[in-house]
Structure 1
Amino acid sequence: MAIPDYQTLMLPVLKMAADGKEHKFSQSVEALADEFNLTAEERNEFLPSGSQAVFNNRVGWARSYLKQAGLLASPKRGFFTITPRGTELLAKNPTKIDIALLEHYPEFIEFKNRKKDKSDNGPLVESSTNGESNLTPEDALASAYKKLRLDLELEILNAVKETSPSFFERLVVDLLVKMGYGGNRQDAGKALGKSGDGGIDGIINEDRLGLDIIYIQAKRWEGVVGRPEIQKFAGALQGQRARKGVFITTSSFTKEAKEYASLIETKIILIDGEHLSRLMVEHNVGVSTVGQYEVKKLDSDYFDNE
């Protein structure tokens, strides 16, 4: 199943505390993950910042909002327990707890208003009528980041498709050097575009010492690359007694081409247009940074020394 949003988690979190005991947050996260039958992949999915697991973050926000409404309390750091108000709410057997329900408590309204006053862009806690109400602040940032990233990758790919073949080869050199191949830019530039030997556009060192060589095919194509082209490249590699090759294109590969590349003994990596644009963004080729935002959280270790 998909990772539940923080509002879906509010009722399970409150029910977990219904026994009146103190519950350790980290243990509660694991118990809730089991309750929702999350896979290992879902449990380990991180925010784009890499700072925290998505599920942990959403459980944290569910707990935080329940506390702001006076339904939970924190007797000590890292623990939470139910309050009489929380017990009273559970006695009514609610089918769900969400922002709309929390807005019935004056403490939560006051919390919302404080956040709204401190933010030029509106409240951090979304209104219950807002279509984005299931997003935590980190979720909203992640969603915006993903959209910006996808839009940028598409823009890059369209720009690459408009370049000349020679420029595309230079672009490939820049990317491979940024990824750690080929030594320096000058050495790599000499290597690519010099061979032209039957299906091979160039060669580049795998490492700075030149312990192994990678053969490259770089094609700025519009059509889909099929198995025959990969077979031709593989034959050229065999003719050079080469063990490794990279086929880079601005288009895509057929299923048969991918299957063939995965079955042959020679290692051939296929990089299509979408993959190419992702790598360019990751390694800062053809892009520039216009702004940076740091997302910070409480350093609990610092306060342990108090």
Structure 2
Amino acid sequence: MSRRKKSQAEFVRWFGPLLDALRELGGSGRPREVSDKIAESLKVPEEEREEVLRSGQSKFHNQVAWARQYLVWEGCLDSSKHGIWALTPKGEAAQLTMEQSRAIFLKWVDIHRKARKPQSGANIKNELPEEDGSSADTGEKTDLLEVLQSLTPQGFEKVCQRLLRESGFENVVVTGQSHDGGIDGYGTLELNPFVSFKVLFQCKRYKGTVSRAQVGDFRNAMIGRAEKGIIMTTGTFSSDATKEASRDGAPQVELVDGEKLVEMFQRAELGVKPKVIYEVDLPFFEPYM
């Protein structure tokens, strides 16, 4: 088996655990919530969870997302595009073994292969994951993330400043080259006419993983200066960094990784243009094949 085929099949092992995780979460959950539940239940090694693809995406989460896509085609998961993964009645009842998961994978590989054979002019997308980390949710996410990673550090700070303004922050200032204890800027968030608070932020434009120590250093820099902080990165956060950010008795630090950053840009329609694309719904035609 070639390296490419092996890479394509790796995500099959998450089919059953994904359904189990959703059952544990009550039948639905946000993508990262589901991935974290799988990692917690199966004790996925930290180094595997922190591995990133060339695109800067988390390889583990990307594989779980591909597992979700195949389970959507199989009718085990809802096909909602609203950021929530949910079980269907079929998925609720399914207890998939590795052999059954493999059979589902091969079934849909074959269906897509047959659909592509007739050169009828229909634009049917190749739905197999690439080694460079194509996204199971939308190719646009990877493209936008790569653009953000290609910006200069100063440019990334300024575009994050714009994103914060578009998201309701006021008086957003980038502190520039001062690197004041790791603080790249600050702004004010008004909750209502009576309550507002200062927020400090840090921008990390790279493909790596933000560590627990880096979150701790940022918090130390913000203590006594603001009630809340935000770290925005085009990379990912380690599980220890996530725990450190919400540690009891310490100022809260909000973490925005590359995936969430892309979602925020899309929600604000900042730097992206919405468009409608119709793709062939192969599950609909499956009974007729």
Bigger relative contact order, structure 1 or 2 (CA pairs below 8 A, ≥6 apart): 2
After TM superposition, the score normalised by the length of structure 2 is 0.49
After TM superposition, the score normalised by the length of structure 1 is 0.46
Structure whose residues are more often strand by fraction: 2
Q: Work out which of the two has the higher radius of gyration on C-alpha atoms and give 1 or 2.
A: 1
